[in-house]
Amino acid sequence: MKRWLSLSLATAILATAAAAGAQTPKQGGIMRAWQRDSPGSASIHEEATYSTNFPFMGVFSNLVIYKQDVAQNSMDSIVPELAASWQWSADNKDLTFKTRPGVKWHDGKPFTANDVKCTFDKVRDLTQDKFRKNPRKAWFSTVRDITVQGDNEVTFHLERPQPALLALLASGYAPIYPCHTSAQVQRTAPIGTGPFKFVSFKQNESITLARNPDYWKPGRPYLDGIEYTIVTNRSTAVLGFIAGKFDMTFPLEITPPILRDIKAQAPGAQCFTAPLNVSTNLIVNRDKPPFDNADVRRAMALTMDRKAFVDILSEGEADIGGTMLPGPEGVWGMSKEMLATMTGYGPDIAANRAQARKIMADLGYGPNKMLKVKISTRNIATYRDPAVILIDHLKEIFIEGELDVVETSVWFAKLARKDYAVGLNLTGNAVDDPDQAFYENYSCGSERNVTGYCNKELEKAFDAQSQETDPAKRKAMVWEIDRKLQNDVARPIILHDRKATCTGPALKGYTQMVNSVYNGYRFDELWLNR
Amino acid sequence: MGAYLVRRFGLMLLTLFGISLIIFVLLRLVPGNIVDILFDSAGMVNPADKARIEQELGLDRSLPMQYAAWIGGMVQGDLGFSYVSEKSAWAEIGPRIPVSARLAGTALLFAIAIGVPLGVISAVRQNSALDYALRVMSLSGLSVPSFWLGLLVLMAFVALFGAMPIYTQESRTWTEAILLVLVPAATVGFRSSALIMRLTRSAMLEVLRQDYIRTAHAKGAYPRAVNYRHALRNAMLPVVTVIGMEAAFLAGGLIVTETVFNIPGLARFLVESIRNRDYPIVQNLVMLIAFLVVTINFVVDLMYAALDPRIRVGG
């Protein structure tokens, strides 16, 4: 059924693209978009939410980027931007980019290869002027050095081969910043080489971009500018979209019930449903008794009825998978057959729970001796709702959970202190690539590894898959790692959510990416048919 | 009179000082600070970076030092800077003042223009069908939550006109600007007008039973003149108090309306700033709102004397 849905979705996207492609793009017009919240800053490198990528990706260019009109990000869809070409060395340890000549920053200064070095030296925390926070430093941990040869050539020297480096550089999270501006400037009034120049960012109000007439891609962008209006109330924003105030909703923010309303009230709107590549997952503090006992963790994994989560939370519009996003949208996800063999994924929930109850009974728990625990989660509906269902499922195996709603501002601080026993978390994968997912979320010492899971053997397997150049072999290695992560109850993935983006009838050329919500907002090919 | 003004002014300063202390302490009692929020959007915490930013923002200093720096800066006209936008606090607060002032002022005008006359009519026509209808209207005004009414109004606009009066970018025409203020103001004003109407009605009923009103009628004075010149003036004292309280509420309490209509005013900004633990913004905004509230109270006190010559300020 899901496959049919996906196929029909793909057909719909293709049909839309074909319809848009049949028309000749028009120059001009201001696109009006709904922005769901006020981003922490304009500096993409410093933030870890697509609330920043959506409005500010258009200001920048990358070295390479996922092709903006291809829905599925993969190694095959990577195209040059500020790089004119790239070349791996024979030992796959040096990646050299020839950069595009004649490109100007928005302040008129010339872009050179040195700006690439400056950017990634700053990301690697090697510069005097530092980012306030640097969430993706770990992405570039294999980079030993970056050298510049003249104005138009830059080489990344790696400790070991890492083909996926290109995938990381193609992410919306890897824009090139100028050497001549500080991190503070990039946070408040960013300068880039992208299709749109920054005009203003009014906190909780609006973000405005204007067409960059000196954009390096001739004839682009089509739009004269983009106005992002920050509307924190979703009902107001959706009504605004229906009333024609916006040409586009915030990406993948439309839930199934709201989607039905939009389709009924704005028949001209085009809506695309896709996975966000954000997983809802269970986190367990492995240092806190009795959760230091692998059997308790295993029982918890066994009691979860993932289908119930999907049906209750998303009206069936979500996917069950492992760490990697399942297909057909995800490139690296395991098949349903494989998933069914893993701890807690089997379809016979009653049998799973019977097994879990036996484990708990052997540990001395039962109906008269419940294990009491606080289930910590952020005070946000998308966290709270699954946490409530989790409490219900845990009750089946003699675990009496009490919801511990944590003020959202201190959530990560609490996790970093390991001041929790059991929690419910959401994890976004910016790039549908195992290197990003494994190193960021499961490698020993990673700042984003909130559970502190550390398995040295598995870490070796991370490195092995990362160096593998044959995609088929790498996929097999990735599946094995993912299987071990789930069986080890490292951070059991409950579901991968799906939501929708809607565009108004006038907006053309938008492609909703289906395996990352972070990479598709360059907007140089968007145009308005008004 | 002079001594009274000096005493009231001194009290105002004392009140503001107390509020400054309360808001300063309360903000720091709330778990997490701006640096936690900054890291929240990065999905991680790096203790070394956190300590560095806290030092940069002066959050590593003792609380008395932080308080003294804030008050010292305020006295010199330096409100500090927003930790989030890294702009000066005044650059963030200043442009939002006229937005909220327009909304609050229009809402208050709407409330008075509707509430007072309807209250008088309701009292004069006591127990008539019109009185019942107006009482039901005022009760519904008090019972309907603002956010629900706001959403209902927006939905009605979308359904009837295919458009809706919410702020997107700065309004491009005068009519658009007026509509953007009038509709939310009417939504807020509806609740306030209901309150004013009920109070006017009960105050009027009390006054209308007085002997001098009967005398005025007996002398053959026009009913309208009796109702509005003689009765209303004497019934206005409690009404003015409520109008003052409503004005104080509207000065900083329009969070729901500003959120539903997406108005970039002070109240919504204040709530967002509290969420962000943006101390300089929250502290200065609260002080601004507190200043407005104490000033409004002061003006209301002065109006008592104007309305009722028996009351003499300082007497």
What is the spatial distance between Cα A386 and Cα A424, in angstroms, rounded to a whole number?
8
What is the spatial distance between Cα B51 and Cα A349, in angstroms, rounded to a whole number?
47
- Give A11's pLDDT tier (boundaries 50, 70, 90): very low
Closest residue in A to B32 (Cα–Cα): A410
The type of residue at A311 is: D
Q: Which of A142-146, A156-160, B54-58, B164-168 has the least mean pLDDT?
A: B164-168
Q: How distant is the Cα of A134 from the closest Cα of chain B, in angstroms?
A: 8
pLDDT tens-place string over residues A227-271: 999 998 888 999 999 999 999 999 999 999 999 999 999 999 999
For residues B293, B294, B297 and B301, what is the CA-based torsion angle, rounded to 10 degrees? -160
Asked whether residue A18 carries a pLDDT value surpassing 70, the answer given is: no
What's the pLDDT score for residue A32? 96
Given a contact cutoff of 8 angstroms between Cβ atoms, the answer to whether A396 and A349 are in contact is no
Contact map slice: B 144-163 vs A, CB within 8 A: 151, 154-155, 157-158, 162-163
Closest residue in B to A131 (Cα–Cα): B49
pLDDT tens-place string over residues B110-122: 999 999 999 999 9
What's the pLDDT score for residue B1? 66
Give the 3-state secondary structure of residue B306: helix
Given CB atoms, is A505 within the 8 Å cutoff of chain B?
A: no
Do B31 and A447 count as a contact with CB atoms less than 8 A apart?
no
Chain A residues touching B43 at Cβ < 8 A: 48-49, 135, 412, 428, 448
| Percent of residues, chain A, with pLDDT higher than 90 | 84
Chain B residues touching A134 at Cβ < 8 A: 42, 46, 49
pLDDT tens-place string over residues A74-90: 999 999 999 999 999 99
Chain A residues touching B266 at Cβ < 8 A: none
Interface mutation target, options A182, A236, A411, A414, chain B, most CBs of B under 10 Å: A236
Do B32 and A413 count as a contact with CB atoms less than 8 A apart?
yes
Closest residue in B to A125 (Cα–Cα): B49
Q: Would you give per-residue pLDDT tens digits along chain B (315 residues)?
A: 677 778 888 888 999 999 999 999 999 888 888 888 888 777 777 888 888 889 988 899 999 999 999 999 998 989 999 988 899 999 999 999 998 998 999 999 999 999 999 999 999 999 999 999 999 999 988 898 888 888 888 888 888 888 778 877 656 677 777 778 888 999 889 989 999 999 999 999 999 999 999 999 898 889 888 888 888 888 888 898 889 888 888 877 788 888 888 888 999 899 889 888 899 999 999 999 999 888 888 888 888 777 777 766 554
According to DSSP, the residues that pair with A33 across neighbouring strands are A228, A248
What's the pLDDT score for residue A439? 92
Instruction: Give whole-number Cα distances, A48 to A156, A174, A259, A427, in Å.
Output: 24, 12, 26, 11
Instruction: Give whole-number Cα distances, B255 to A281, A527, B261, B291, in Å.
Output: 34, 36, 10, 18
Closest residue in B to A206 (Cα–Cα): B169
Closest CA to B281 of B290, B271, B295: B271
Given CB atoms, is B89 within the 8 Å cutoff of chain A?
A: no
How buried is residue A100: exposed, middle or buried, by Cβ count under 10 Å (0-12/13-18/19+)? buried
Closest residue in B to A32 (Cα–Cα): B168
What's the pLDDT score for residue A168? 97
pLDDT tens-place string over residues A105-119: 999 999 999 999 999
Closest CA to B20 of B62, B81, B66: B66
Contact map slice: B 8-47 vs A, CB within 8 A: 30-32, 36-47
Q: How many helices (H) and strands (E) does chain A have?
A: 16, 18
How buried is residue B117: exposed, middle or buried, by Cβ count under 10 Å (0-12/13-18/19+)? middle
Q: How distant is the Cα of A120 from the closest Cα of chain B, in angstroms?
A: 18
Given CB atoms, is A439 within the 8 Å cutoff of chain B?
A: no
Question: Residue A410 is nearest to which of B31, B41, B262, comparing CB atoms?
Answer: B31
Interface mutation target, options B41, B90, B161, B187, chain A, most CBs of A under 10 Å: B41
Closest CA to A163 of A227, A253, A78: A78
- Give A386's pLDDT tier (boundaries 50, 70, 90): very high
What are the backbone angles phi and psi of residue B83, rounded to the nearest 5°? -70, -25
What is the spatial distance between Cα A180 and Cα A183, in angstroms, rounded to a whole number?
10
pLDDT tens-place string over residues A330-362: 999 999 899 999 999 999 999 999 999 999 999
What is the spatial distance between Cα B241 and Cα A28, in angstroms, rounded to a whole number?
55
What's the pLDDT score for residue A239? 92
Q: How distant is the Cα of A137 from the closest Cα of chain B, in angstroms?
A: 11
Q: How distant is the Cα of B173 from the closest Cα of chain A, in angstroms?
A: 15
Chain B residues touching A39 at Cβ < 8 A: 41
What's the pLDDT score for residue A320? 96
According to DSSP, the residues that pair with A207 across neighbouring strands are A201, A228
What is the spatial distance between Cα A229 and Cα B164, in angstroms, rounded to a whole number?
15
How buried is residue A310: exposed, middle or buried, by Cβ count under 10 Å (0-12/13-18/19+)? buried
Given CB atoms, is B55 within the 8 Å cutoff of chain A?
A: no
Asked whether residue A488 carries a pLDDT value surpassing 80, the answer given is: yes
Do B41 and A408 count as a contact with CB atoms less than 8 A apart?
no
DSSP alpha helix (H) spans, A41-164: 50-56, 113-123
Closest residue in B to A240 (Cα–Cα): B164
Chain A residues touching B277 at Cβ < 8 A: 409
Do A188 and B86 count as a contact with CB atoms less than 8 A apart?
yes
What's the pLDDT score for residue B313? 55
Mean pLDDT over the full length of chain A: 93
Chain B residues touching A235 at Cβ < 8 A: 151, 260
Do A242 and B158 count as a contact with CB atoms less than 8 A apart?
yes
What is the spatial distance between Cα B243 and Cα A166, in angstroms, rounded to a whole number?
65
Do B39 and A32 count as a contact with CB atoms less than 8 A apart?
no
Contact map slice: A 233-262 vs B, CB within 8 A: 233, 235-237, 239-240, 242-246
Do B262 and A231 count as a contact with CB atoms less than 8 A apart?
yes
Chain A residues touching B163 at Cβ < 8 A: 243-245
Q: How distant is the Cα of A132 from the closest Cα of chain B, in angstroms?
A: 7
**What is the pTM assigned to this prediction?**
0.87
Contact map slice: B 154-213 vs A, CB within 8 A: 154-155, 157-158, 162-164, 166-169
The type of residue at A191 is: I
In this structure, the number of other CB atoms found within 10 A of the CB of residue B193 comes to 28
Chain A residues touching B48 at Cβ < 8 A: none
> What value does the mean pLDDT take over residues A445-453?
85
Chain A residues touching B259 at Cβ < 8 A: 232-233, 236
Complex ipTM tops 0.85: no
pLDDT tens-place string over residues A262-321: 999 999 999 999 999 999 999 999 999 999 999 999 999 999 999 999 999 999 999 999
Given CB atoms, is B267 within the 8 Å cutoff of chain A?
A: no
Contact map slice: B 276-295 vs A, CB within 8 A: 276-277
What's the pLDDT score for residue A1? 42
Q: How distant is the Cα of B94 from the closest Cα of chain A, in angstroms?
A: 12
Question: Residue B262 is nearest to which of A133, A233, A447, comparing CB atoms?
Answer: A233
- Give A22's pLDDT tier (boundaries 50, 70, 90): low
Closest CA to B153 of B260, B259, B253, B262: B260
Question: Residue B40 is nearest to which of A205, A235, A411, comparing CB atoms?
Answer: A411
Given CB atoms, is B57 within the 8 Å cutoff of chain A?
A: no
Contact map slice: A 174-203 vs B, CB within 8 A: 184, 187-188, 201-203
Contact map slice: A 384-423 vs B, CB within 8 A: 407-413, 415-416
Closest residue in A to B37 (Cα–Cα): A409
> What value does the mean pLDDT take over residues A324-328?
95
What is the DSSP pairing of strand A422-428 with strand A371-378?
A: parallel
What is the spatial distance between Cα A500 and Cα A516, in angstroms, rounded to a whole number?
13
Do A47 and B42 count as a contact with CB atoms less than 8 A apart?
yes
What's the pLDDT score for residue A364? 96
What is the DSSP pairing of strand A196-202 with strand A225-230?
A: unpaired
